[in-house]
Amino acid sequence: MNIVVTIKQVEDPATPPSHMVLGASGKSVQSVSGVPRVMNGYDANAVEEALRLKEKHGGKVTVVSLGDSSARNTLKRAIAMGADSCVLLSDPQWELLDSFGTATVLAAAIRKIGNVDLVLCGRQASDSDAGQVLYWLAEMREFPVASPIVKIEESSADALVVHSLLEEEYQRLSVKLPALLGISSEINEPRQPSPKGTVTATRTMVPTWNAAALAVGPLTCKVDMTKLEIQIRTGKAELIEGADGAARGRALADKLHQLELL
Amino acid sequence: MAGILVIAEAAGTGVTRESLETASLAMRLAAAMQQPVCGALLGAGDLANAAAQFQCGFSALLLVESPQLATYVAQQYVAAVQSLIAKVQPAVVLFPHTAKSRDWAPRLAAKIGSGLVLDCVNVTVEQEGVTASKPMYGGGVLAKLVVHGDPALVSVRAGIFECAQLSSGGAVERMELPQLAAHPGIQHLESISIEGAGGQRLKDAKTIISGGRGIGEKDNWHFIVEAAAALGAAVGCSRPVADAGWVSSSSQVGLSGALVAPDIYIAVGISGAIQHLAGISSAKTVIAINNDPEADIFKRADYGVVDDFKEVLPAFVERIKQLRS
Ligand SMILES: Cc1cc2nc3c(=O)[nH]c(=O)nc-3n(C[C@H](O)[C@H](O)[C@H](O)COP(=O)(O)OP(=O)(O)OC[C@H]3O[C@@H](n4cnc5c(N)ncnc54)[C@H](O)[C@@H]3O)c2cc1C
């Protein structure tokens, strides 16, 4: 099975807003104090699921990332986890792309890779929280798409049975390959890189494809960012006192009763 | 293209609260644009009652009523909304952000080449055009985004706006759902409903008690269940709890779970990550029980107890029972 996983390098989502600053353009956010950037969490789940499918069916896992040169680190992490090859998609004109633009570049890369059976994407990125790229990509490649996927129940060379999460139900879907899936965190626990994988990653040269290499022309965004604002929370709860935990629990009940909340 | 189309989801025999909230944003935006709002309702059953609830002073109300909408199939929704757009020719389409719309809307946007922003907390008209305010970075950052396209598509986060007032409007008209061939690539095999852990729909719950990773292990989950039963509360959880499978994902509160708006939200063993807080921005009173006085949840909570939940919760529940009897 020939699998492509799209991965994004993001600011660590555990960074509190008080440790974030706006980038020079005012249209990006970065962490202060050199907090390292990480692989988007759902994308790590997607890499893990791809590796499991490869272990079962054989084939190849290629990871692609659209980003600046620092995104090499995230691609190398995927190699260290066990991915077979990687490509960085990078061009100065791609700095502020929206979902449509990002998907256009990814679609061109997938076309260039060729013979792809399955594309796995994280269900959304933890920085933009947009949740759209995978759908645009599926439309451009004319792949059937389902998301958010919490389980791959069955897999064969030409079809999958997956569980997609709705509000109060799972849908069991049969998906014919080639297809695209948006992966959610319930599906697995991503593996840590192995020592051997880490060595392989260190030695890996990351190829870069730019706009010329992919024959992607200038892109006009469908959504333009005009402003970003960091939101810092400063409130403080009234703490309920008492001799011990149980006393505090009772005092909390009394307080809520007195306020006619319960 | 002109005016606003607001699309509601039917629920049971009525219309969802989120739909009415979205309608009130639509009316506000329409006043700023000096353009009309057309309403639309999608649903499987008889929509007469839902239509009566979804009278918010629209120029017209379109009903797309079809048994084919009973099971969620993305292509059906895309086709339905596409035919609504063809009829109304709106400049902006607004709809509530739900598990369904976060799936059909990007498909529709990609199909018609429209700009789309999901999960917005406001929409205004600025010099640059229709502008959506959207939380990013889990809620730590607010972005302003100009949405291009004919029409511009925007989904609206629950719990931000008041429900629109009932007010009579133009004619109610029924529309046919376009007939679709089954999608060759995807076949719906089965829908497996998830039992709500608290037996109550989280979004409508007045009281919610949620447990987080601090509960420690699945065998401790009964503390939350028992407290919920005593309080008459719905049960929620943070993401690690859903990921670990202690309870189903339908109980997850937060950015990638349910956005809730209870009168009282009790967070037990939850640290207060922004992605979790994004789900409770509309909760009226938040109470936190956490043994770490530095936990971020205490910045959001109104009242807090710093201690082991195993000490606090049973005593709290006993006292509530006493006070109520
Ligand atoms: C894109 C994205 C989307 C996300 N969506 C969501 C979402 O929808 N919902 C969500 O919840 N999270 C979401 N997250 C995850 C989020 O960032 C946090 O990781 C998560 O909310 C943490 O859950 P927690 O508070 O239960 O666990 P932790 O952060 O581990 O906190 C556990 C807390 O329990 C306390 N504790 C430990 N033992 C006890 C005890 N005995 N008594 C009392 N307190 C105790 C600790 O002090 C700690 O504060 C998302 C993350 C990303 C990147």
Substitution site in A45, A167, A185, A189 for ligand 1 pocket (most atoms within 8 Å of beta carbon): A185
CA–CA gap between residue A25 and residue A218 (Å, rounded):
20
B222-231 helix and B309-324 helix, angle to the nearest 10 degrees? 20
End-to-end CA distance of chain A: 57
Chain B residues with CB-CB distance to A169 below 8 A: 191-194
Q: What is the pLDDT of residue B178?
A: 82
Q: Cβ of A253 and B102 within 8 Å?
A: no
Q: Which residue, judged by its Cα, is nearest atom 30 of ligand 1?
A: B213
Under 8 Å between Cβ of B310 and B223 = yes
CATH of A2-214, one of 3.40.50.720, 3.40.50.10490, 3.40.50.620, 3.90.850.10: 3.40.50.620
Which domains are delineated in chain B?
A: 4-174 (3.40.50.620), 197-324 (3.40.50.1220)
Q: How confident is the model at residue B202 (pLDDT cuts 50, 70, 90)?
A: confident
B203 vs A192, higher pLDDT: A192
pLDDT value of position B196: 57
Q: Where are the domains of chain A?
A: 2-214, 234-262
Provide the residue type at B193 as one letter.
S
Torsion of Cα atoms, A141 then A146 then A149 then A154, to 10°: -90
What is the spatial distance between Cα A61 and Cα A1, in angstroms, rounded to a whole number?
8
Lowest mean pLDDT among A143-157, B150-164, B198-212: B198-212
Distance CA A1, CA A179 (A): 12
The confidence score (pLDDT) of residue B15 equals 93
pLDDT of B107 reads 98
The most distant pair of C-alpha atoms in chain B lies apart, rounded to whole Å, by: 62
User: At residue B19, does pLDDT exceed 70?
Assistant: yes
The confidence score (pLDDT) of residue B199 equals 39
Place of tokens 């809307």: B105
**Confidence bin at B144 (pLDDT 50/70/90):** very high
- Is 50 exceeded by the pLDDT of residue B198? no
Backbone angles phi, psi at B63, to 5 degrees: -110, 125
The pLDDT of residue B197 is: 43
Length in residues, chain A: 262
Quote the CA–CA distance of A255 and A250 in Å, as a whole number: 9
Query: For tokens 């007032």, what's the residue?
Result: B165
Which residue in the set A179, A234, A248 is minimally distant from B185, CB to CB? A179
Residue A225 CA to residue B143 CA, distance in Å, equals: 7
Condensed to tens digits (0 to 9), the pLDDT of residues B221-267 reads 999 999 999 999 999 999 999 999 999 888 999 999 988 999 999 99
Give the pLDDT of residue A154: 97
Mean pLDDT, chain B, integer: 93
- For B97-126, the pLDDT digits (tens) are 999 999 999 999 999 999 999 999 999 999
Mean pLDDT on B40-69: 93
What is the per-residue pLDDT for B177? Answer: 86
Nearest CA in chain A to B137: A127
Report pLDDT for A81. Answer: 98
CA separation, residue B312 to residues A242, A243, B232, B325 (Å): 11, 12, 18, 20
Q: Which residues line ligand 1 (CB under 6 A)?
A: A 13, 41, 126; B 138, 212-214, 238-240, 252-257, 269-271, 273, 275-276, 279, 289-292, 295, 308-309
Q: Cα of B273 to ligand 1 centre, how many Å?
A: 6
pLDDT score for A128? 95
Nearest chain A residue to B113 by CA distance is A222
As for the ipTM of the complex, it is: 0.95
What percent of chain B stands above pLDDT 90?
84
| Cα A7 to Cα A122: distance, rounded to the nearest angstrom | 7
Residue A7's contacts (CB-CB under 8 Å, 6 or more residues apart) are A39, A40, A43, A44, A46, A47, A63, A64, A65, A74, A75, A78, A122
CB B250 to CB A168 under 8 A? yes
pLDDT-derived band at B45, boundaries 50, 70, 90: confident
Instruction: Give dist(CA B27, CA B38) in Å, integer.
Output: 10
- Average of per-residue pLDDT across B15-30: 96
Phi, psi torsion values for B192, nearest 5 degrees: -110, 110
User: B186 and A166: CB-CB below 8 Å?
Assistant: no
- Chain B residue closest in CA terms to A27: B143
* Average pLDDT score over residue span B292-312: 97
Stated pTM of the model: 0.93
Say if the Cβ atoms of A262 and B114 lie within 8 Å. no
Sites in chain A below the pLDDT cut of 70:
none
